[in-house]
Amino acid sequence: PVDYKCIDIDECVNATLNNCQQECINTKGGYYCECVPGYTAINSSQCQDIDECSEGTSGCEQSCNNTEGNFTCSCEDGFSLNGDGKSCQRDKESLGPCLDKGLTCEYGCRNTSDPPVCFCKSGYNLTDAENCTNINECDLGSHGCAGGCTDTDGSFQCTCDTGFQLGHDQKSCQVCDSSHWGIACANLCECGSRARKCNSSIGCTDCVPGWRGENCEEDIDECADSTIC
């Protein structure tokens, strides 16, 4: 009969029809899997915990404790965790033990050691017994960036070549998907029917007949060219 038609099967409403470990996104004629925040995909269906502490993406000022799907920050003795859950506030009396030893600590005093010693927040090293200086992870080669590395105050930032973007770990580089191109994949492929493909580095390429230009955006006026008409 002519009124018979096909309808999409939503594989996500029935766990036996998909193999997603976490989230299932239905599409017309299929589905794909996604990971919830705090996890990264290891294949098309499985997810694993992101260790923000070892990857250096937690933003904790002092100590970081990884948990399943998340992390928590904590502070050394003599400091209190601020409301943002990441930065630490020095207690007024915390420098006392170091001051008694003649140490004027720039950042903090670790009075649980014997004798008490000064220490710096994450991303900094002691230059002497009292003062702190930024660690340049890029120069030291300890950044783990797959692409470029830019040093920042107390940290660093990984970068990728044109046509790639940072992965969830903020260190690896992944090629742009088919809908994006450019630096950090920030540009949307808007070639339409003017080009046969969108290159991840330079955008629209291989213009179809009748179009030209860097992004196949220029309509060729065949009537103005006597060699065509």
11-46, pLDDT tens digit by residue?
A: 999 999 999 999 999 988 899 999 999 998 888 899
Query: At 105, which CATH number?
Result: 2.10.25.10
Q: Is the pLDDT of residue 1 over 60?
A: no
Q: What is the pLDDT of residue 148?
A: 94
Q: Which of 9-18, 75-84, 164-173, 210-219 bottoms out in mean pLDDT, i.e. has the lowest?
A: 210-219
Please report whether residue 21 resides in a domain. Answer: yes
Both 123 and 165 in one domain: the answer is no
Q: What is the pLDDT of residue 195?
A: 83
Residue of 20, 3, 1 lying closest to 11 (CA atoms): 20
Please report whether residue 1 resides in a domain. Answer: no
Cβ partners under 8 Å of residue 229, min gap 6: 222, 223
Cβ partners under 8 Å of residue 76, min gap 6: 62, 63, 88, 108, 110, 119
Q: Residue type at 8?
A: D
Per-residue confidence band for 98, with pLDDT thresholds at 50, 70 and 90? very high
Q: Give the domain extent around 146.
A: 140-175
Mean pLDDT score of the chain, rounded to an integer? 88
Please report whether residue 106 resides in a domain. Answer: yes
Query: At 35, which CATH number?
Result: 2.10.25
pLDDT (mean) for 165-187: 89
Please report whether residue 4 resides in a domain. Answer: no
Higher pLDDT: 141 or 132? It is: 132
Both 44 and 60 in one domain: the answer is no
Both 76 and 124 in one domain: the answer is yes
Both 199 and 130 in one domain: the answer is no
Contact 220, 213 (CB under 8 A): no
Q: What is the pLDDT of residue 3?
A: 66
Please report whether residue 3 resides in a domain. Answer: no
Cβ partners under 8 Å of residue 161, min gap 6: 147, 148, 173, 201
Q: Is the pLDDT of residue 222 over 80?
A: no
Cβ partners under 8 Å of residue 201, min gap 6: 161, 162, 163, 181, 182
Prediction pTM value: 0.60
Both 84 and 121 in one domain: the answer is yes
pLDDT (mean) for 185-201: 86
Please report whether residue 2 resides in a domain. Answer: no
Among all chains, which residue has been given the structure tokens 């690896």?
A: 172
Q: Is 63 exposed, middle or buried (0-12, 13-18, 19+ CB in 10 A)?
A: middle
Per-residue confidence band for 75, with pLDDT thresholds at 50, 70 and 90? very high
Q: How far is CA 216 from CA 189, 205, 213, 227, in A?
A: 11, 7, 5, 21
Number of independent structural domains in the chain? 4
Please report whether residue 66 resides in a domain. Answer: yes
Per-residue confidence band for 229, with pLDDT thresholds at 50, 70 and 90? low
Both 62 and 81 in one domain: the answer is yes
Both 218 and 156 in one domain: the answer is no
Residue 204 corresponds to which tokens in the numbers above? 């629209």
Residue of 36, 110, 122 lying closest to 73 (CA atoms): 122
Distance CA 119, CA 108 (A): 5
**How many angstroms from the chain centroid is the CA of residue 37?**
12
Q: What is the pLDDT of residue 152?
A: 92
pLDDT > 70: percent of the chain: 97
Q: Is the pLDDT of residue 93 over 70?
A: yes
Q: What is the pLDDT of residue 2?
A: 53
Per-residue confidence band for 108, with pLDDT thresholds at 50, 70 and 90? very high
Higher pLDDT: 1 or 5? It is: 5
**How many angstroms from the chain centroid is the CA of residue 213?**
33
